[in-house]
A = this chain, B = another copy of it.
Amino acid sequence: MSNSSKPRYQQLKDLIIRQISSGALGPHDRVPSENELVERMSVSRMTANRALRELTDEGYVERIAGRGTFVSDFRSRSHMLEVHNIADEIAQRGHQHGCDVLRNSRQHARGEIARALDVEQGTDIFHLLLVHFENGAPIQVEDRHVLAEFAPECAGQDFGSVTPSAYLTSIAPLQEAEQIVRAQLPNAAVRRHLQMPEGEPCLVVMRRTWAHGRPVTFARLHHPGSRYELTGHYTPPGTSKSASDNVVQLENLQR
């Protein structure tokens, strides 16, 4: 589909997003200033401003008055029920991350996996099985399936040093994710990998992630219940710092 019907501020946004997604612009790189966009793209400054402002709201770029506009460091983002990279999370706690890769094989999707990824039975996928360690203690079993078409270089990756999550977001930005959180007893294999005593439950996160408009990876993440918890911080729409700090009266905005 062509873009001839899109508003120009959206075309500008698309242009910049594409340059970020493609890697032409990396984190901390400078994005053209409003005035440069005015000249090179033949738009008015307000249009360029809207494009850049919305990209700021959406987390793609950061703007500093007087300096310029810069591509965000995606790694520094943090969200609600955050879509964590376990390695970053561990680093944030000042602990050491380790990782054993138990499996990295090419397979054919079947059953639950094919349904989760919304592909035909038999579609090529990579199956990864990793154990993540925090200061030497096993903290997560990552059982992940990735569409081979989406990440053809999976086989050659050293997931001991770059987590699958980090690798995948480096290929294409995360568009959407769906998570299900459960408490359940682990099976024998998971229990062994996590070195858990019998009877102890796991906190299980099942996560599907979208890119290019379709699900590309499905992960089951098992954590030992006694050593792991999920935290979330919720700020509702319009805590707007001002809900109780609001002295504006109708007909009386201050200039």
**Residues of A with Cβ closer than 8 Å to B?**
1-4, 6, 8, 10-15, 17-18, 21, 40-43, 46, 55, 57-60, 77, 79-81, 83, 173-185, 199-204, 212-213, 223, 225-226, 229-240, 242-248, 250-251, 253-255
Contacts and interface: CB of A to CB of B under 8 A. Distances in A.
A242 B81 CA distance: 24
B232 A178 contact: yes
24 contacts: A4-B254, A6-B242, A11-B253, A14-B245, A15-B253, A17-B240, A17-B246, A18-B246, A42-B253, A43-B253, A57-B237, A60-B238, A79-B80, A81-B232, A173-B236, A175-B239, A175-B243, A178-B231, A179-B234, A181-B181, A183-B223, A184-B201, A201-B225, A213-B243
B3 A243 contact: no
Nearest to A1: B245
B229 A201 contact: no
A183 B184 CA distance: 8
B234 A80 contact: yes
Copies in the complex: 2
Given A43-B253, A180-B229, A240 B14 contact: yes
A185 B212 contact: no
B178 A234 contact: yes
A239 B214 CA distance: 12
Contacts of A4: 254
Q: A interface, by DSSP: helix, strand, loop or mixed?
A: loop
A222 to B, nearest CB: 10
Given A58-B236, A80-B234, A199-B199, 11 more contacts: A8-B254, A12-B253, A13-B242, A15-B248, A40-B250, A43-B253, A79-B236, A178-B233, A182-B183, A183-B184, A212-B243
A236 B3 contact: no
A247 B14 CA distance: 9
A209 to B, nearest CB: 9
B242 A14 contact: yes
